[in-house]
Amino acid sequence: MARKNKGRVVYSTNPNYEPEYDDQEVETPEPGSQKLRVELDKKRRRGKQVTLITGFVGKSDDLKELAKELKTKCGVGGSAKDGEIIIQGDFRKKITEILTSLGYQVKMIG
């Protein structure tokens, strides 16, 4: 898990100072309590469309497992990182149906 400016110490006069990082991941809640957003995104992608799934809370392994399942069912590539799943192409409707069948609360944007 990447460290994201936790502690924000720029300089310390204490030669024995060790910054404390909380690298524990949040437990993944049940799918019914998660509200995911599914939207089409073309920004910073050279005009290519991707389906972006945001709002996932939980362990990165669970996020990657969900992304793998979506990629397999859609038959395309993609990635999962920083709480987002990126699926290549416009699969908003199909992904919304898949996530709903898995028990997630889904809101399709656009």
Per-position DSSP letters for 49-69, written without gaps between them? -EEEEE---S-HHHHHHHHHH
Residues 75-91 have pLDDT tens digits of: 999 999 888 999 999 99
Specify the pLDDT at position 1. 45
* CATH number 3.40.50.300 given to 31-109: no
At residue 107 the predicted structure's pLDDT band, cuts being 50, 70 and 90, is very high
State the chain's mean pLDDT as an integer: 86
Specify the pLDDT at position 22. 60
106, 38 in Cβ contact below 8 A? Answer: yes
Quote the CA–CA distance of 80 and 35 in Å, as a whole number.
Answer: 17
Element (H or E) spanning 100, and its range? helix 92-101
Beta-sheet pairing, 35-41 with 50-54: antiparallel
Cα distances (Å, whole numbers) of residue 14 to 17, 22, 94: 5, 21, 56
Top-confidence residue, 17 or 38: 38
For 34, which DSSP code? -
**Across 10-25, average pLDDT:** 70
**Across 9-26, average pLDDT:** 69
**Across 49-74, average pLDDT:** 94
**The pLDDT of residue 65 is above 90:** yes
